[in-house]
Amino acid sequence: MTTIPSVVHPRPGDPAITPALVAEHGITPFEYEKLLGLLGREPTFTELGIVSALWSEHCSYKHSRPVLKTLPTTAPYVLQGPGENAGVISVGDGLAVAFKIESHNHPSAVEPYQGAATGVGGILRDVFTMGARPIAMLNSLRFGSLDSPRVRWLVSGVVKGIGDYGNCMGVPTVAGDVMFDPAYEGNPLVNAMCVGLMREEELITAKAQGIGNPILAVGARTGRDGIHGASFASEDLSDENEAKRPRVQVGDPFTEKLLLEASLELINSGHIVAIQDMGAAGLTSSSAEMAERGDVGVVIDVTKVPVREAGMTPYEILLSESQERMLVVAKLGHEEAAKAILRKWDLQAEVIGEVIAEPVYRVVEGDRVVAEFPGSRLVTECPQYAPEARESEIIAGLRQRDPHLVDERAEESDPAWTLRELLSSPTIANKRWIYRQYDSQVRTSTVVGPGAADAAVVRLRGTNKALALKTDCNARYVYLDPRLGGRIAVAEAARNVACTGGRPMAITNCLNFGNPTKPEVFFQFREAVFGMGDACRALGTPVTGGNVSLYNENPQGAVFPTPTIGMVGLILDLAHITRSTFRADGDAIVLLGENTAELGASEYLARIHGLTIGAVPAVDLDHERRLVDALLEAIASGTVHSAHDCSEGGLAVALAESCISERTATFGAHVDIADPLVTSSRALLFGEAQGRVIVSTRDAPRVIAVATAHGVPARVIGHVTATQRLVIGTGAHTLDTALEPLVDAFFDAIPALMQRAATASA
Amino acid sequence: MKFGIVTFPGSNCDVDAIHAVTDALGQTAVSLWHRDVDTQGCDVLILPGGFSYGDALRAGAIARFSPIMQAVVAHAERGAPVIGICNGFQILCESHLLPGALMRNAGLQFICDWVHLRVDGTAPLYFSGYAAGQVLRIPVAHGEGRFTADDATLDALEQGGQVVFRYCDADGTVTAAANCNGAARNIAGITNAVGNVLGMMPHPERAVEALLGSTDGLPLFESLLARVGA
């Protein structure tokens, strides 16, 4: 193959390269000049397609890379940082955990079922191509208001898509977060995270190496679906997107299950040196990225690629995003042994190319060269941009509004009414309607599944350890103040993980933003990433990889900037696993952290007053670090019966959730949070001051002593009761309610809204 | 005692069943591949949950033609124990080792949840570890678990004592509200007339460790051990 003369001519029937065709491929005139310089000639149609995919935002990170480089990525236990299919950390005992989060927003906006399903499929492949067996899935979803029939259609489709794919794969979906806001009306966000487990020595990367080694296409055949998916994901949505439904791939979890088993067997067999998912931009990006990582050349012969239909052009074969395919570099002479493993699983594998010494990315069609790029750094040859960043004056104005000037509604004279309204807000309400459709227990290792604690807990079989897993991002904070919002997203995820007894270890992030060429969007992106970096450094949780999803906007505007955090924590002893619900009558309720008069950016303002205004709560990252340490020490001492973070809805919602979040729970609470420094009852009850956790314990002095030793304010605010009531005194007012109406509000809200969908469509 | 757990392409609860047998029960488990024709002298065969062949056509419809199924049928015809869990139950029905069929859940959604089951079975092979009418707390996870049969078949099952598990509330009362998937007569599990072939939608292998929330599935396996191991 290496002897083919490198004369590249257009194929018969190729369209002429015109400025219009270049623009249609999303390549700017500036980028086209760069391409001409790289090639020293006009590109062919096939080459234009390749560059269109590789230089899309999705593959090239051309607007985001310089900012992303500011994130901390190292720790002694990080085995693989960003740049591979997934990040990997060591968890001791010779075990390693691979994990990553990825978006499938654009496909899900036009075809929710397949869009979400293939998002799950893609992230699973990213993890098992590292050599890890997937052991848990999480997902982070954002939708518009459930009052909209279209949103209900999106929710139903996305949830079913996630469920059908993950359930069939036998990977439990154990946690996630779902929020609703009109800002996501036209652009839902579907972020899927996968966590895998392996022995450290099983780690394999996607680095092409070994001159002469054969390259194999493995798994499903290549069809005409998903062509230009990567480019599609790198532009704004518009009314024409309905017409782009064919760009959405179709998932087949059964084939993926076979591919999972075959890939792990292949990796363990020693017959291969590298493996990578053919994900976004399919064969093109997988082969170019593998070559780039190994700093070698590759040659691919498209006539050798197994296809679904005759007559597919090189352009189509290279850019297809048909699902459930892998690119594998085998050891020379081991091709047949590798193929035999695939055959056992009823899968196909064909040699389609070779690793070559010559630094070139070459595609041939039989004896004809149809594309050739010099060098092995085609992806990073993409121009980098440093867009202008400027805060939107409108948003700055919203932030400066004083929420305390917002008049209370008449109903608020009964704070129990406000509490019920908040508990029935779909963002806060129980998500059982959603997670009941996910198999959260397969693999029999899910100790704490959805809804029972601040994070999911999955035990590591054969050890006394477990993982605590959580996705999180309050995007309203990020919208009003991206720097603080970025910090809080990480800090809250860490608090959640620590509440279950886990030490926060590392994060993966999924950065969902609007169009980065708009200065106010790029400002949000830059500041949110900086904020995230601040928190990661303070909390000792490096970023091991992730995904950037830009252009999440439509003619009505951009989504809330949503830098979703996927956090992995390590629980050192199964005895430390802690849930969020109260466990025993008479337990003291201890507040760690301090209440403030802050009310800005709250779910209270959004739900009760329809307002997204005010200053985002301050977050003291040093305090957050000490809070995590204090919690973990208190939990390890065996005195903590429950721990729950205060987040959306504030202290009142957190207390209510600790009473009712397991529907059959029988404990109430009686607390007094009157505070001479905070005169606003609604701020005390519903404000979202950061750095707070409520703990129930038999031994309050011990918990307080531990907290004090860590410099964390702590005090007893009340106790758990056997009555079916929640009573919260704020000095001026007393919130006093039976639990039953809270249970109804919390558990029935989403089913009632979704039932409207069924009724409406019936 | 030796358990054989069959792996079809798409099975995904096979490993869980193996762990239940080896870790919780302390017995031997061997993995049987769908192309195998020999059951390696296993005392008990388990067809595990999952999505064999991706549920193409109908759940279990293709798996019944796998080579291993001839050995499973022979094992059953000898009167030896065969347990089908979830997808395994579907395969047993498709193979006519058990009567009836499993249809889409009444709500048309996949359901993963904890449910209560009343033990109506009395045959010692599977139920000696349970008190009559005992209420179990055990997980379900399925999209096609609504047991269906014609009235004559259902009557025959009832008369023959072949209805062994029913969905019920926490007190053991069989109610419509407790019927998670809309199954005929709240049926969650049945046996064949001889009593050696058991099919059930809930997952006893997920309820063998207190750490995971319930050990109510363990007596099922222990009953077998007492009977067959003896």
- The residue from A25, A63, A104, A623 that is catalytic is A104
B15 touches A: beta carbon within 8 Å: yes
Q: Give the total residue count for chain A.
A: 762
Higher pLDDT, A355 or A755: A355
Q: Are A116 and A144 in contact (CB under 8 A)?
A: no
A258 touches B: beta carbon within 8 Å: yes
Higher pLDDT, A13 or B181: B181
Is A641 known to be catalytic?
A: no
pLDDT of residue A412: 96
DSSP A399-418: HHS-GGGSPPPGGGGSHHHH
Query: By CA distance, what is B210's nearest residue in A?
Result: A447
Is B168 known to be catalytic?
A: no
| CB spacing of A160 vs B20 below 8 angstroms | no
Question: What does the pLDDT look like over A134-182, one tens digit per residue?
Answer: 999 999 999 999 999 999 999 999 999 999 999 999 999 999 999 999 9
| CB spacing of B110 vs A437 below 8 angstroms | yes
Higher pLDDT, A60 or A77: A77
Q: How far apart are CA A720 and CA A734, in angstroms?
A: 17
| CB spacing of A440 vs B112 below 8 angstroms | yes
Calculate the average pLDDT of chain A. 93
Query: By CA distance, what is A164's nearest residue in B?
Result: B110
Q: CA angle at residue B120 from B119 to B124, to 5 degrees?
A: 85
This prediction has a pTM of 0.94
Question: Taking CB atoms and an 8 Å cut-off, how many pairs form between chains A and B?
Answer: 81
Secondary structure (H, E, C), A610-634? CCCCCCCCCCCHHHHHHHHHHHHHH
pLDDT of residue A234: 63
What residues contact A157, with CB distance under 8 A and at least 6 apart?
A108, A111, A112, A113, A115, A116
Question: Is residue A3 over pLDDT 50?
Answer: no
CA distance A416 to chain B (A): 30
Question: What does the pLDDT look like over A272-328, one tens digit per residue?
Answer: 999 998 877 789 989 988 888 888 999 999 999 999 989 899 999 999 988 889 999
Task: Please name every residue paired with A467 in a beta bridge, in sequence order, or none if there are none.
Answer: A458, A570
- The residue from B13, B42, B86, B168 that is catalytic is B86
Encoded tokens for B198: 């058991």
Is B116 known to be catalytic?
A: no
pLDDT of residue A758: 55
Question: Is residue A238 over pLDDT 70?
Answer: no
| CB spacing of B12 vs A461 below 8 angstroms | no
| CB spacing of B111 vs A345 below 8 angstroms | no
Q: How far apart are CA B163 and CA A711, in angstroms?
A: 61
pLDDT of residue A194: 98
Question: Is residue A233 over pLDDT 70?
Answer: no
Query: By CA distance, what is A253's nearest residue in B?
Result: B54
Residues 203-222 of B with CB under 8 A from A: 203, 205-206, 209, 211-212
DSSP state of B22: I
pLDDT of residue B57: 81
Locate the DSSP E strands across A454-561: 456-459, 466-472, 503-512, 543-549, 553-554, 557-558
Higher pLDDT, A277 or A461: A461
Q: Label residue A433 by pLDDT band (50, 70, 90).
A: very high
pLDDT of residue A60: 84
pLDDT of residue A321: 87
Low-confidence ranges of chain B (pLDDT < 70): 230
Q: Collect all residues of chain B within an 8 Å Cβ-Cβ radius of residue A258.
A: 9-10
Q: Are A735 and A726 in contact (CB under 8 A)?
A: yes
Task: Give the helix/strand (H/E) hosting B112.
Answer: strand B111-119
Question: Is residue A404 over pLDDT 70?
Answer: yes
pLDDT of residue A5: 44
Based on its alpha-carbon atoms, the radius of gyration of chain B, rounded to whole angstroms, reads: 16
Q: What contacts 24+ positions apart, CB below 8 Å, involve A660-664?
A: A660/A581, A660/A739, A660/A742, A660/A743, A660/A746, A661/A430, A661/A451, A661/A452, A661/A580, A661/A581, A661/A746, A662/A451, A662/A452, A662/A579, A662/A581, A663/A743, A663/A747
* Percentage of chain A exceeding pLDDT 90: 80
Task: Please name every residue paired with B166 in a beta bridge, in sequence order, or none if there are none.
Answer: B118, B187
pLDDT of residue A231: 65
- ipTM of the complex in this document: 0.96
pLDDT of residue A759: 53
SS3 B123: coil
Encoded tokens for A128: 């098992």
Q: Label residue A240 by pLDDT band (50, 70, 90).
A: low
Query: By CA distance, what is B109's nearest residue in A?
Result: A437
Higher pLDDT, A743 or A322: A743
Encoded tokens for A127: 């993890």
Given the structure tokens 């963002």, which residue do they identify?
A427
pLDDT of residue A690: 98
